[in-house]
Chains A and B, each alone.
Chain A
């Protein structure tokens, strides 16, 4: 087989991951290798490095490039009210249960640029619960959190988001939640007041509070089995008795070591409840 210079070799990827761990403390070694390799490969080609050695040198010596690379390696694709059925379940079944608490604490782990966090805030607002809620929205990436804090999203997506919102049972004019300005929609400060955005690395950081609801969607799919188990235990420890855990459409507790600690509440919408012990 001919040497192909456009292709990163598996050994190259392992070297880079080792650099990221040793030099910067970012541990991707338990991430899906195929996914990380694909994303590194893409950066390698897009940025036209003449050789892997130069790519590696840049990563090791340029902290600004590292910030960019981190954003490229982790998947930051998200949308408002993605999977409307899930948000309908939150609205109709889960949040009304939480309404009985004097203070509602929610952890949105791996929130990326924040679209789903604002979606949950809108639900809480419409159920008249936002005033007594706190949402901790965390991500490994400081740069996406910066975007999330601003709550400014491209206007071109609003039609889709508005449709998702309605499919999820929303009854208001969706546009009441943002101000359109040129190509952007800036979401209302009222929604943001109860959200705390903070950096948290699921791989290395510990639990920081107890919650009644943890939302972590399309994050675990990028982790290997051991890391999935570790993170699920972190979630379990961070949930109150009878707290809820919400995962992505293709994620499950089945076959994990925390499965006995939870019972499924909404099978299709991937919501579990921690069993009282």
Chain B
């Protein structure tokens, strides 16, 4: 494995879109990581979501396609009705298998798959939501050396998902929205990209 960028994966469900819209403007040009966004949503809203997100950033936002190779400065949105997995060579696989926690895409699936490939070069953020998705994935991310953070449930529009994660995983950080923005900002200067 030669030149895989570091990876940030953001998972969200109900009430997470607003937070994302606040985070994305902080991703400056020359952003040194690849970003994957996994959002629960209705199945027919694909292009809309990436179009909406792309209004908030100068980076390229695209619906993830199978065999896309993760590259720095790109934002990949997991398409509806498919799980998103990552191959050892950094290419993407779409997977139409069973829903996980009633969800496809599932945040757990992408967190876990990313952890297998990226290990300590992975950061995962779990945002607002009404589902248990994401918690188990954060556990794996942590076990494999990645950085784990969740939105402070008190600041989340729907607190259930981040609270559930905090209850079962000893996450590295619990971020209020301002702290999360600061964290993302700090990644701009992250030049330890191998």
A residues sitting closer than 8 Å to B (CB atoms) are 1-2, 4, 7, 10, 32-35, 37-39, 75, 77, 218, 221-222, 225, 248-252
Residue among A1, A37, A221, A248 making CB contact with B145, cutoff 8 Å: A1
Q: Which residues of A contact B112 (CB under 8 A)?
A: 38
Q: Is the CB of B145 within 8 A of A35?
A: no
With known contacts A2-B143, A4-B143, A32-B85, A221–B96 Cβ distance under 8 A: yes
Closest to B99 in A: A77
With known contacts A225-B67, A250-B65, A250-B66, A34–B96 Cβ distance under 8 A: no
Q: Is the CB of B97 within 8 A of A221?
A: no
Residue among B79, B81, B95, B144 making CB contact with A35, cutoff 8 Å: B95
B93 at the A interface (CB under 8 A): yes
With known contacts A1-B144, A221-B66, A251-B66, A75–B93 Cβ distance under 8 A: no
Q: Is the CB of B97 within 8 A of A75?
A: yes
CA distance in complex: A250, B92 (Å): 12
Residue among B94, B109, B119, B145 making CB contact with A38, cutoff 8 Å: B109
Q: Besides A35-B97, A251-B66, 12 other CB < 8 A contacts?
A: A2-B143, A7-B144, A33-B88, A34-B87, A34-B88, A35-B85, A35-B95, A38-B112, A75-B95, A77-B97, A77-B98, A252-B65
B82 at the A interface (CB under 8 A): yes
Closest to B80 in A: A249
Closest to B88 in A: A33
Question: Nearest Cβ in chain A — how far from B104, in angstroms?
Answer: 9
CA distance in complex: A2, B140 (Å): 12
Q: Which residues of A contact B96 (CB under 8 A)?
A: 75, 77, 218, 221, 248
Q: Which residues of B contact A10 (CB under 8 A)?
A: 88
Q: Which residues of B contact A75 (CB under 8 A)?
A: 95-97
Q: Which residues of B contact A250 (CB under 8 A)?
A: 65-66, 79, 82, 94
Q: Which residues of A contact B157 (CB under 8 A)?
A: none
Q: Which residues of A contact B95 (CB under 8 A)?
A: 32, 35, 38, 75, 221-222
**B92-116 with Cβ < 8 A to chain A:** 93-98, 109, 112-113, 116
B14 at the A interface (CB under 8 A): no
Interface string of B26-70 (1 = CB under 8 A from A): 000000000000000000000000000000000000000111000
Interface residue tally on B, bucketed by range: 20 to 34
Q: Which residues of A contact B143 (CB under 8 A)?
A: 1-2, 4, 7
CA distance in complex: A218, B134 (Å): 25
Q: Which residues of A contact B140 (CB under 8 A)?
A: 7
B residues sitting closer than 8 Å to A (CB atoms) are 65-67, 79, 81-82, 85-88, 93-98, 109, 112-113, 116-117, 119, 140, 143-145
List of 10 A-B pairs having minimum Cβ-Cβ separation, nearest first:
A34-B85, A32-B93, A218-B96, A75-B97, A34-B87, A221-B94, A250-B94, A221-B66, A35-B95, A34-B93
Question: Nearest Cβ in chain B — how far from A9, in angstroms?
Answer: 10
Closest to A75 in B: B97
Closest to B92 in A: A34
CA distance in complex: A221, B87 (Å): 12
CA distance in complex: A38, B82 (Å): 15
Q: Which residues of A contact B93 (CB under 8 A)?
A: 32, 34-35, 221-222
Question: Nearest Cβ in chain A — how far from B155, in angstroms?
Answer: 32
The 23 sampled A-B contact pairs (Cβ below 8 Å) are A1-B119, A1-B145, A2-B143, A7-B144, A32-B93, A32-B95, A33-B87, A34-B93, A34-B113, A35-B85, A35-B93, A38-B95, A38-B109, A38-B112, A39-B97, A77-B98, A221-B95, A225-B67, A248-B96, A249-B81, A250-B65, A250-B66, A250-B82
CA distance in complex: A251, B65 (Å): 9
Question: Nearest Cβ in chain B — how far from A18, in angstroms?
Answer: 17
Closest to B97 in A: A75
CA distance in complex: A248, B145 (Å): 36
CA distance in complex: A10, B1 (Å): 14
Q: Which residues of B contact A77 (CB under 8 A)?
A: 96-98
Q: Which residues of B contact A39 (CB under 8 A)?
A: 97
CA distance in complex: A252, B79 (Å): 15
Question: Nearest Cβ in chain B — how far from A66, in angstroms?
Answer: 20
Q: Which residues of B contact A248 (CB under 8 A)?
A: 96
